[in-house]
Amino acid sequence: MRINYFAVGSSEGIRLLERSEADFAATDKPSIARAAAGRAQCARAVIPMVRGPLVLGYHLPPSPDSATTLRLDVATLADIFSGRVKRWNDARIRSLNPGRSLPALPIVVVHRADGSGTSRAFSDFLSTSGRWAVSQAGDTSEVQWPVGIPAEGNAGVALEVKVREGAIGYMELSYARQNHLAVAAIRGREGDFALPGVDDVRYPAPAVTWLVFDPGRLSADRAEKLVAFIRWAQREGSPQARQLEYRQPEPDSIAYYDALLSRIPFESCAAMRSDSAARALSQAPAR
């Protein structure tokens, strides 16, 4: 079985799903994907697949103490991404990094250009500071960033940070690793600083990627294959996920959603959708 996956961002993925041009989509913000779809058993399904940290990759010039991990907190990050903190030697950054020399270099913010659940998840994290009031387009993944350079996808953000001195951007950990980027330690609720790691529960900015599909849009054959893929990914696919800096949901979560998948009457959902489409066509005005 071959699966073609397009890294086009959550918003475009949901649009492709709703136009029946994709069998499933994925997002880091499940509320973006939820929608009424007829009766409860045929409603849009949102399944947690992997968990991994959202990280802040940065690019500062080499210095004698550059091996020391940069430390940031959510309030300072909110000020950086809103444009209130403009240089790396700002007093707020220096206070979090005593003894580290920081250059008087302009901060170059890099953010996602595409509609992204990662962007929405990161924006929600910044909102916990009480210093982030950025306009968002309702319950979608569109975040109106006040400053910064847009880049396509996690890969684009990582590349921009890699090639621009003074840059900082949010991304999933695997992209930072692949591009050999330094990542910041973030202050957690207990006041200590934690580096991102797949199993480090102290790191305060985790993200869960959810798989999204509409039962009524799938033929019986495609539904069977999609369910088989989901079950494989959550079990046998675990070692591959860890190689990419992700981990699977907990066993009780896997069991819960496995039971949910077993209860979906795919053939009935597809028939109900076909009947609805036929009625809509019959009621359309003649041209």
What's residue 155's pLDDT? 94
Q: What confidence tens digit (pLDDT) does each residue in 241-257 have?
A: 999 899 999 999 999 99
Q: What are phi and psi of 208, to 5 degrees?
A: -115, 130
pLDDT category at 38 given cuts 50, 70, 90 is very low
Q: Check whether 286 has a pLDDT greater than 80.
A: no
Domains of the chain: residue spans and CATH: 10-50+208-281 (3.40.190.10), 52-206 (3.40.190.10)
Q: Where are the beta strands (DSSP E) in the chain?
A: 25-27, 45-58, 71-72, 108-112, 149-151, 167-172, 182-183, 185-187, 193-194, 206-213
Sequence-ordered alpha helix ranges (H) in 83-152: 91-96, 117-127
Q: What is the pLDDT of residues 107-135, one digit of tens each?
A: 999 999 988 888 988 999 999 999 998 76
The pLDDT value recorded for residue 198 is 87
Enter the pTM of the model.
Answer: 0.86
147 has pLDDT over 90:
yes
At 282 the pLDDT is 58
| Cα dihedral sign, 275-222-256-49 | negative
Average per-residue pLDDT for the chain? 89
As a whole-number percent, the residues of the chain with pLDDT over 70 amount to 90
Per-residue confidence (pLDDT) for residue 141, from 0 to 100? 57
**What Å distances lie between residue 258 and 27, 152, 264, CA to CA?**
19, 33, 10
Q: Are 198 and 241 in contact (CB under 8 A)?
A: no
Residue 198's identity, in one-letter code, is: V
Instruction: Give the torsion through C-alpha atoms of 235, 240, 245, 248, to 10 deg.
Output: 0
**Tell me: the pLDDT tens digits for 167-197?**
999 999 999 999 999 999 999 988 999 999 9
CA distance 151 to 180: 18
Residue 172: Cβ within 10 Å count:
24
**Residue 161, beta-bridge partner list:** none
CA distance 207 to 129: 17
Instruction: Calculate mean pLDDT across residues 190-206.
Output: 92
Asked whether the predicted pLDDT for residue 203 surpasses 60, the reply is yes
Q: What angle do CA 41, 45, 46 make, to 5 degrees?
A: 150
Cα–Cα distance between 58 and 168 in angstroms, integer?
4
Round to whole Å and give the CA distance between 36 and 75.
36
- Residues 15-43 as b/e (b if ≥16 CB within 10 A, e otherwise) read ebbeeeebbbbbbbbbebbeeebeeeebb
What DSSP line would sit under 56-93, residue for residue? Answer: EEE-----TTTTSPPEE-HHHHHHHHHTS--BTT-HHH
Rounded CA-CA distance 110/170 in Å is 8
Task: Please state whether beta strands 71-72 and 185-187 pair in parallel, antiparallel, or not at all (unpaired).
Answer: parallel
Q: What is the pLDDT of residue 135?
A: 64
Any idea which of 97-111, 143-157, 267-281 has the lowest mean pLDDT? 267-281
Average pLDDT over residues 46-68: 91
